[in-house]
Structure 1
Amino acid sequence: MIGAGPVLEAKPDRRALVSVQGLVVRYGPITALRGVDLEIGAGECVAIIGPNGAGKTSLVSAIAGLVRPAAGKVVLDGLDVARIGLADVVRSGVALVPEGRNIFGSLTVAENLRLGATPRKDDRIAPDIDEIFQRFPILGQRRSQHAGQLSGGEQQMLAIARAMLSRPRLLMLDEPSLGLAPMVVDGVYELLADIKQQGVALLVVEQNATRAFGLADRVSIFGHGAIQLSGAPDAIAADTNFDAAYFGAAYADRGAPA
């Protein structure tokens, strides 16, 4: 589905595709991220879970270049994101499906998809769009319909497909299951599993721990603007501190900021 360029093989000694180093993000007097360190390897799926207000959206916004760190940095394939323009971040292979999807409701389905291919200069855009319509017949049937008339699940599929048309190396999704019926969420996560199989790195922000654990290679639990737990899904699920971290309680032995 949707050409994603050459498959990026995951190797233990590879340089991280994204390296977040001591990241601090502030909004006026409010500190949203407190010295976060995180790496995402090529072809790897990392899930970020945690309660509302934990700093998850601030993290993906900083990686996408939408917010400037107060301290620390985000390094994308050797480039400091804060030193390159937002367009260069996209051209470097980062795509974001934000919470709420941010599709253009007054534009047609086809127009929304073409916007996703804006960074590209190749001649494969039309075939890639045709491939999307084959995979998602409902989008093909409604290609000339305003995107705002689609259901929530259809809009989420459109948002993911639009992001994939930029042929990203890293696809970030902020709360992809939010507000969707369980059967629709099944379809979304089947799509993400397919994208992962193509070798595209994924950073998935979720409150639905079960979904995140089923897809991710590694999981980080956020709380109070910092990573409280991080590791393989099975190890995190078995950790005795899981409930405290997931539900946002700070515990002394990890020095979680209040």
Structure 2
Amino acid sequence: MRYFFEVAYNGTNYHGWQIQQNATTVQQLIEEAFAVILRAEIPIMGSGRTDTGVHCSQQYFHADLPEDIPVNNLQYKLNSYLPPDISINAILHVSEDAHARFSALSRSYEYRITLRKNPFLQNMSYFHPKSLDITTMNEAASLLIGKQDFECFSKVKTDVNNFVCDITEAQWVVEGDMLIFHITANRFLRGMVRAIVGTLLNVGKGKLRTEAFKKIIESKDRKKAGASAPAAGLFLTAVKYPREIFPE
């Protein structure tokens, strides 16, 4: 039977989600937990990848479990085995053709910037004490909305067939001493959000005009966009799926 597992993690100590050689990842530790608890190799498929140091408040992965395995206390057992910075928050029975990656309708990220030094937000935000023109940053961010080619914000070496994404939300919001960038799309390219944030910060610092930001998108050239913002400020916050994949 196929299940979706909702997972959250602090990515500070990990080389991202996906299993890699000679590096500790979130997927690796979860699969190891399954092997110990269920005494079986259970491969899992995540809703997407996160890079080294990136955090996640909501992500999903799917796994196929034998029908004779009880899941009523599996969440408790997994959380007891996993380290404190990884948490399984829900286990949901789904249709057999549901896919954590390909069935997703949208994904949402937040990039969190602290405008005031805060030791309790170390590794959980990007400290940027200099003033930023947030109004102009939002004007530039509005140019991201819609279905467009975003190759200019993608890592150069990637295996995707195209660079078209449909962005439905892109805006900066001030919350106390925090500046938070909210972005939602049907899909994201590798390194895309951090590249967008880094380029928008150049707008906020007056180094780049809104018109120039538009031309960067049109150029499809990663070299013309800004440097990627640090990983610590990035959070995957939501993944949405069609209701039909969840049997009643």
TM-score, length of structure 1 as denominator length: 0.24
Between structure 1 and structure 2, the one with the greater Rg is 2
Indicate the structure with greater strand content: 2
The structure richer in helix per residue is 1
